[in-house]
Structure 1
Amino acid sequence: MRRPSGALSPVRALLRGLPTLPAVILLAVFLAGPIGYCVYYAFTNMQLTGAGTTRFVGLDNFTRAFGDPDFLNAVWLTLVFVIGSAVVGQNTLGLALAVLMEKATKPIRALTNGVVIAAWVLPEVVAGYLMYAFFFDQGSLNSVLGAFGLPQQNWLYTMPILAVCLANVWRGTAFSMMVFSAALNDVPQELLEAAEMDGAGPWQRLWRIVLPTIRRSIMTNLMLITLQTLSVFGLIYTMTRGGPGNKSETLPIFMYQQAFQNSLIGYGTAIALVLLVVGALFSVVYIRLLTLEDD
C-alpha cells in the first residue's frame, strides 16, 4: 500500500519530534506526575497525623464531600466569587476602562494605567493586607463614610464575600484592561467613522461594531480570568481566612483547611480534584462558545 503523498514516514516523524522531547519529559515529570499523585491520593484515606496505613477507599472522599454542607457552601461561594469578581467585575470594568482610555488624554491615560497595573503586580498577600486595611471596622472605607456622616460597619464581618469580590476586582482588572486595549486597536476605524456619519451614537457603535469585532478577545479573556479566579487563595485567606464562620470559604480555602489544618490529605486532595474538574468544565464551555463563533 502506497503512503499518501506528503505523508511522513514514522522514522522521519519521530526525528522531527525529537526537539520537543525535553519539554515533553519536563511536562510529564512536573505536571502530569503531580496530577497523577493527586488523583491517587483522592481515592485514599491519607492523613498527615494520627493515621495508620494509607489505604484505598474508592469514592468515599467524594461521597463525603457531596454530602457535606460545608463543601456545598464552598462550591456555591466559589461560583459567586468567580461570577461576581471575574465574569462580571473584571471583565466589565476592564472593558470600560479600555474604552475610556481610548478617548482620554495622555496624562490621564498614563496615570490610570499606572494605578490599575500597580494593583495587578502586587503580590496576592500584599494586596490582601491592603484590602483588609480598607474594609475592616477601623479601616479607610469607614473613615471616608464617617467623614460624610454615612453609616459604618465591619464589612469583613457583615459582607465578607462582597468584600473579597471587590478586592479581587481591584487587583485583577488590569489584565482585562490590557487584553481589551490590544483588541480595540484592531477595530477598523473606518467602520466607526462610517457609523458615526450615519448617526450612530457611542452606545450603538459600541454594541453593534466594537463588541462583535472583539468577541473572540472577550471569550478568551473570560476563560483566562475565570481559571485564575478559581485558584485565588492568598487574597481571601489574608482578608478573612474564609470567615466569619464559613461565609467567605471558597473551595481553595476549604481544601486547605481540610488537608492541612484537619490533616485529611486524602479528603483535601479529592476537593482539589473537584476544583480541577470545575476549571476544566469552564474551559470546555468557553472553548465551545469560541467554536460556535467560528461556525
Structure 2
Amino acid sequence: MKFAKRYWTVLPSMILLCVFMVGPILWAFYGSLTNTSLTGVNAVNAQFVGMKNYMHMFTDRDFPNSVWLTIIFVLVSAIIAQNLLGMVVAVLMSRANKVVSQFVSISVIAAWVLPEMVAGFACYAFFSREGTLNQILGVIGLGQRDWLYAFPMFAVILANIWRGTAFSMMNYQAAIGEVDKSLIEASVVDGANAWQTFIHVTVPVIKQTIMTNLMLITLQTMSAFTLIFVMTAGGPGVKSSTLPIYAYKAAFKFGDIGYGSAIAVVMLVIGAIFGVIYIRALKDEKGVTNE
C-alpha cells in the first residue's frame, strides 16, 4: 500500500517510457533476429534467422568503416572540439564585459537553436562547390575545392562543432558561475596565476559537470543523423557513412530492415557502454567529493 502511494504519481511517465522507449528497443532487437525486408515476401512473412544479421557484420566490409568513421566523428567533433571549445568560450565569457559576453553568447547559441535540418542546409551551402567557403577562398586567391566530395568527414565534423559547441558552453558557463569566489581569491593570494587557478581550483570543482557534459555530447553526437544526411547523405560512396547513416541505408535504401535493426542494436549497446562508463565515473567522483 505504501509502495502504491509513493509511486502512483510516476506511473503515467513509466507507462509512456515503456511505450515509446522500451517498446521500440524490444521491437528493434526482435527485428534484428529476423529477415524482415522493406518490400517483397519477407516484408509480410518475415522468418526468424537468429544471429545471422550480426554474423553478417563480420563479413560486411562497409560496417567496420562506419564504426571507424563514427569513432572519429564522436572523438574529434564532440569529446575534443565541442568540449574544449565550450570550456574556452565559457571561461572567456566569464571574464569579458557584459556587452561582449551577451554578443558571443547569442552568436554561439544561434547555431544550436536552429533546427538540425536548417543547420544542415546552412552547412551544405557553406561547403558546397559554389558555396560561401569557396567564394571566400576565391576572393583571397586560394584554390577552391569541392569540400563535400573531397573531404566529407572534415566538413561534417566542422559542421557538428559549429552547431554543438553552444551546449558545452552553457553547461560550463553555469558551472563556472557556481564556483566559490573565495577559493579563487585564496589561490590568487597564494600567488597562483590565472592558468594555475583554473587548473587547480576551477577544474576540480566542476569535474562532475565535465563528466556529465562528456556523456551527453558523446551520446548526442553518436546518434547524429540529420546533419550528416543533409550535407552528404553518407557519401560520396561510404566516406561519411557513420553508423546511423549506415543503418538507415541498410534498412530503407537497400530494404534490409533486419540488418538495419541489427546495426541499430549495436549502436544502442555502444551507447549503453559509454553511458555506464560515464555514470560510474560520476559516482566515483561524488564518492571522492563526499569523503
Structure 1 length normalisation: TM-score? 0.93
How far did residue 18 of structure 1 move?
2.1
1:27 aligns with 2:17: yes
AA matched with 2:48: F
1:17 aligned residue: 7
Question: Out of 38, 41, 50, which is 2:40 matched to?
Answer: 50
2:142 aligned residue: 150
2:172 aligned residue: 180
**1:1-295 → structure 2 map (5 Å cutoff):** 11-52=1-42, 53-293=45-285, 294-295=287-288
1:177-223 CA-to-partner distances (Å, cap 9, x unmatched) read 11000000121212212222322122111111111110100000000
Separation in structure 2 between the aligned mates of residue 136 and residue 187 of structure 1, nearest angstrom:
44
AA matched with 2:161: V
AA matched with 2:83: N
Separation in structure 1 between the aligned mates of residue 83 and residue 112 of structure 2, nearest angstrom:
14
Separation in structure 2 between the aligned mates of residue 91 and residue 176 of structure 1, nearest angstrom:
6
1:7 aligned residue: none
Separation in structure 2 between the aligned mates of residue 254 and residue 219 of structure 1, nearest angstrom:
29
How far did residue 146 of structure 1 move?
2.2
Separation in structure 2 between the aligned mates of residue 150 and residue 205 of structure 1, nearest angstrom:
42
Aligned pair count reads 285
Separation in structure 2 between the aligned mates of residue 17 and residue 190 of structure 1, nearest angstrom:
42
Larger Rg: 1
1:10-53 CA-to-partner distances (Å, cap 9, x unmatched) read x3223322222222222222221111111110100000112342
AA matched with 2:272: A
Separation in structure 2 between the aligned mates of residue 191 and residue 30 of structure 1, nearest angstrom:
46
How far did residue 94 of structure 1 move?
0.5
1:248 partner SS: coil
Separation in structure 1 between the aligned mates of residue 2 and residue 202 of structure 2, nearest angstrom:
47
| 202-211 vs 22-31, greater mean Cα deviation | 22-31
Unaligned runs of 5+ in 2: none
Query: Considering only aligned residues, what root-mean-square deviation do their CA atoms show, in Å?
Result: 1.2
AA matched with 2:174: A
AA matched with 1:15: K
Separation in structure 1 between the aligned mates of residue 48 and residue 92 of structure 2, nearest angstrom:
57
1:250-284 CA-to-partner distances (Å, cap 9, x unmatched) read 00000000100111111101101011111101111
| 194-203 vs 162-171, greater mean Cα deviation | 194-203
Separation in structure 2 between the aligned mates of residue 59 and residue 252 of structure 1, nearest angstrom:
20
How far did residue 77 of structure 1 move?
0.4
AA matched with 1:159: F
AA matched with 2:22: A
1:47 partner SS: coil
Separation in structure 1 between the aligned mates of residue 281 and residue 232 of structure 2, nearest angstrom:
35
AA matched with 1:68: D
Unaligned runs of 5+ in 1: 1-10
Separation in structure 2 between the aligned mates of residue 290 and residue 18 of structure 1, nearest angstrom:
29
1:133-174 CA-to-partner distances (Å, cap 9, x unmatched) read 111222111222222222322211221111101100110111
Give the 4+ runs in structure 1 shifted more than 6 A: none
2:220 partner SS: helix
AA matched with 1:264: D
Separation in structure 1 between the aligned mates of residue 173 and residue 29 of structure 2, nearest angstrom:
40
AA matched with 1:263: G
Separation in structure 1 between the aligned mates of residue 219 and residue 212 of structure 2, nearest angstrom:
11
